[in-house]
Each structure stands twice: as structure tokens, then as C-alpha cells.
Amino acid sequence: MDPSSAANIGLFLLGADSVVKMEFSSNRVQPGGIIYVSTNHDFTSNSNGLRLPVTNSGSNPISQIIPRSKFLYEVRMAPSVTSGKFTMNLKDYYLSESLLVNPEYFEFEIDANPPLLQLKTGNGIDISELQSGFLDIESNEEIVWDGNLSQVELSGNAKNSLVVSDIIVSARNIRLLFAGNPNANGGILSIRFNGVMDKALNSQGNIILPVQVFAFKSGPNMNIARRSCMGMELDDGRKIVLGGRAKSGVVINGNGTLSSTEFYNSITKEFSIGPDMIYRRQESAIVKLLDGRLLVSGGFGAKVWEASNESLSSIEVYDPVTNTWAEGPSLTTPRQLHKMTVLPNGDVLVVGGLTPFSPFQSIAMVELIHVTPNPASMTVETIGNLVDSRGKHAQVLSSSAGKVVITGGERSDITGPASSDYYARAIDSIEIYDIATKTLSTSTAKVIKRFNHFTHALSNGEILILGGISSRFNDNQPILRAQIYNPFTDTIRDHKNLLFGREWGTSFVFPYGKDQIVIAGGLEYRTVNGNTFDSILDTESWSETDNRFYLTSRSLNARWDGCDIGYPSTGGGMILGGRIGSILANTEEYSFE
């Protein structure tokens, strides 16, 4: 023990009050607000009284300190200081008075803003989350709230008989527990909170939180029942479905393969006939160009009124401003069940596919469509060949990595002239197109062998790979295990399992959630030898934040081989046509409207 140290001199002088304790009522306060300090030391006997030195401020936020008793003091803030974080250096100041204090430092904040509440998932939920009985609301800061049932009110067309039965409040979370049933069609659920304050006692009074409740609901029938079709939302909000295969026995334009298009109006809930494509097409590929036009390539079909079908190499472009189709250049090789990706410069990468007739041959050639305002002046460049030819694969642009990631697929090699002379199997390779160098390379990473699967680019630049099947023969099995590929490190890791193995389904990314992916429809193979299957009603979602798959609502029809239209402008989407035994004209929307 050093008897000459300032600390030990302080202990000697204080005697029984060896440490002066201070307790502050809050570390957040409004401009002009009050913090109370309770202490075990009588500062009224000091000539200077209680002093609270703020060390990191140009203007002192404390305007006045008023003793309310020997051991309780009212600290008033200056109304002119409206924000900021401040520190009191109590240790150094009171050491000069030979006092030891606890705490030695105190940090506080001047806060004029009320707390902000939001749904944990963003601004929308699947209806199954209401049906599960609770909902989590997050605050951007710690809250002070009683959480009485009288302080919450529900309204909106999604409410139905739903009521709040209990409330659980923690520092930054409000969990509402429900009884009753929401509207099965979803809609808007408005939640009104009263009296939620932060630790500085700021409050908006009433906070109304609108929640978009998404659910599957029946849509109108298309004018033509179709499968193997394409769909897209246009920049002006209209939705278009095009091409595909008509119901058995239906012949349009000389064939059952369709050139027809239909527009869907989300307001009137009606389909109207659009302009025919130049070609009848099924199993073709479609992208929306950067300027809002649609580009369609390949598929199985022919020009309108030509009776026979063949594998197509043609390209055509739809202009929504003029409502017309115009033919572009042809691909070097015909292909169907291929994929296209719009690159950052507006060009379109064309990968893979199959030839249409047995013996089936998968395609290795990769091509680049150079997009121009006039389709007639567009050109096609051959990039090179994949190491593994493939169709029914998946590919996705990783913008941050500057790459198009091509995963899995079905490779089919011809072994002879007969229709059965081909060898088809799922492949496990990943091939990469580098946008900057316009080169193809093969990844060292491998996917689980799969085709007819899904891929999604995640917010961190990685790629989620999920679903698909392993074979088209008796050893066929659904792939439950999802994987995540990192294009920066060229590595892949196993992820969680899907609840249902499926192919030919629908996969939407919804802007209503922070990271929501909804997977619906498709086929699930249920037997050991893989030759029995059912179409799937149950849907599931994947959350990037929660890093898991979970069961959501059910679709209205267990369909497969249809098409879908995502609604990036409002969230949600539509599933159209497909098969449940026969080919369907019916549709269903997944939306909150």
C-alpha cells in the first residue's frame, strides 16, 4: 500500500464513505429533460455541490443541478442541445477532491426521436405466421412500455376474427400472441400501438404499423390452358404470359404449341389477349432487358401456321411501348430447356439446353447476344463450350463477383442412331462465366448431382442452390440438401434440408421480407426406386436471416410444369397453368391485395 497515493489518501479521508456511489435514473434523456442522480454522499455540504463534468462536448448539455434532498439530485438538460452522446469523467474530477466514485465514467445520450417499430421480417409476412399464433415487432432502440392489451388494436381486411391474446415485451422486441383466425386471403393487417416510449421517454403517441399479409388466392382463368409457358412483369406493371403447350386436342395456329400471349391486370383481375409471337414456342427462355423489352429465344415449335415442330434457334423481342414483336438474329445452335442471363452491360448470355427429339443431346455451346435498340441489328457471338454439356440446369448472376454461376443440370450423350440411344444423367459440375474477360472456367467445387433445381443470389454475393432431382430413371431421388456456393473463394458448403424435395416447381424472391424466398408447387418423388411421384400443395420459405427453411401456407393447386410471374414492384407473384393430370387454365396469386 502506497500511503502517498491520491487514491489511498481519498480512502483515508472518506472513512466510512470509502466509495461514493452514484446511480443515474437513465442514460437517455430528451432535450431539456431530466436525469435523477441518487448517491450515498451528501454533496449539499460541499461548497460546489454536486458537479457532473462533461468532458467531450463543445457545449455543456447540463443546464442546472438541483438538490432535492441530501442524497437525490435533479439534473436538467439544456433545451438547446438536441442530440449527441456525452461522457462524464467522474473519476478525475472527484479525485482532486479526494473522493473515489463509482461509476468512474458515465455515458448518456440526448435523444429527441421516438422509437421506430417494424415487423421483424420487413413489412410483410406469410399468412402462416399469423396462423402460428404470434408475431414479433422490433424496435430500433430500447423501449419502455407496459404492454397492456388495451394498448394494442388490430384492424384491416386481413384481421377477420384475429385478436391479441397476450403481449410479451423485452428490451427491443414486442411479441404479440394471437387468438382467432386471419382472413385466408391475406391483405393488410394494421397494428396500432399506444404509449410506446424509449428510455428518454420519447413517444409518437399512436404508432400504426401496416403489415402486408401474403396468401395464395385463386386468380382468374387464362383464355387458353397452357403448360411449359413463360411469364414476366413489365416495367409498366402489366403481367404477361406467353407461349407453352395447349391442352390435348386443342390446335391453335395449326398446332398445339402456342404463339399466343395474354396480359393480366392486377386491378381488374382479368386476362386479355395480347399480340401473338412470331413463333409458336414451348420450353423456351425469356429475360427482361435493361430497357424493359422482353427477349425470347429457342424452345420447341415453329413459325405460326407451320404444322411441324422443331428445335428453335430464333430470337424475338417484344416492345411494350409499341405492343409489337420483332425478329432478331438466330442463335448458332437450336436449343430448348436452356437458360439466359442479362449481364450488367445489357447483353444476354445463353447457356446449355437440349435438342428436341430422341436421341436427346445436351448442348455445350455458350453464346452471347449483343443487344441493340433495333432487334434486326442485334448480333450473336460464340463464347465457347462448357466442359459438361447440360440442360435443365440453373444459373444466376453474382453481380458483386462479376460472374454468372452455372450449376448442375442433365447431361445427355448420344450413343447411337435409335431414339433410345442416349445416356442421360445428372451432373455435379459448376462452370463460371467471367463477365470481364468473357471466358468460361470450371469450378473446383461440386454440387450434389441435380437438375430442374433453383438458384438464388444472396445479399452477401453467395449463391443458394436448392431442390431438383438426381435422375430420370428408377434410381431417381429428390435432393433435399441445399448448398451455398461462394464465388469469391470458389468453395461450396452444405446447408439445411428442404422440407420437400421437388422439381418443376416455382421459386419466388419476395421484396416484402428482408430476405424471403418462397418455394411452391412441383413434383416430389416418394418411393425408393423413384418412379412414383405426387405434385405438392405445401409451400416453404427460406430466410437468409434465420438461415433455415420453414413451412408456410399451402398453394391452392398442386401443379407442376406451369410458369410463374414475380411481382417485383409490389411483392408476391402468380403461378399459371401447368398440369394436374390435364393442362390447366387456372391461376393463383400469392399477394396481399
Q: Give pLDDT, residue 358.
A: 82
Q: Are residues 80 and 154 in the same domain?
A: no
Burial zone of 224 (CB within 10 Å; 0-12 exposed, 13-18 middle, 19+ buried)? buried
Q: What is the pLDDT of residue 274?
A: 97
In terms of domains, do 91 and 131 share one? no
What per-residue confidence (pLDDT) applies to 534?
64
Residue 127 counted as domain residue: yes
- Does residue 85 lie in a domain region? yes
Indicate the residue among 52, 84, 110 that finishes a domain: 110
The secondary structure of residue 391, as a DSSP letter, is: B
Q: Give the pLDDT of residue 14.
A: 42
Asked if residues 357 and 283 have their Cβ atoms less than 8 Å apart, the reply is no
pLDDT at 427: 95
Beta-carbon contacts of residue 560 (< 8 Å; ≥ 6 apart) = 503, 504, 505, 521, 522, 523, 535, 578, 579
Whether residues 138 and 102 fall in one domain: no
In a domain, 450, yes or no: no
Residues 6 or more apart whose CB falls under 8 angstroms from that of 126 comprise 213, 214, 215, 518, 541, 552, 553
Pair (34, 96) in one structural domain: yes
If asked whether residues 140 and 106 sit together in one domain, one would say no
Say if 512 falls within a structural domain. Answer: yes
Q: What are phi and psi of 90, to 5 degrees?
A: -75, -35
Q: Which of 110, 134, 155 is at the close of a domain?
A: 110
Which segments in the chain show pLDDT lower than 70?
1-17, 472-476, 507-516, 524-535
153 and 177 both lie in a single domain: yes
Handedness of CA 500, 492, 345, 351 (dihedral sign): negative
- The conformation of residue 512, written as its DSSP 8-state character, comes to T
Q: ∠ CA(305), CA(310), CA(313), 5° rounding?
A: 100
pLDDT at res. 150: 95
Total domain count, the chain = 3
The domain in which residue 527 lies consists of 501-586
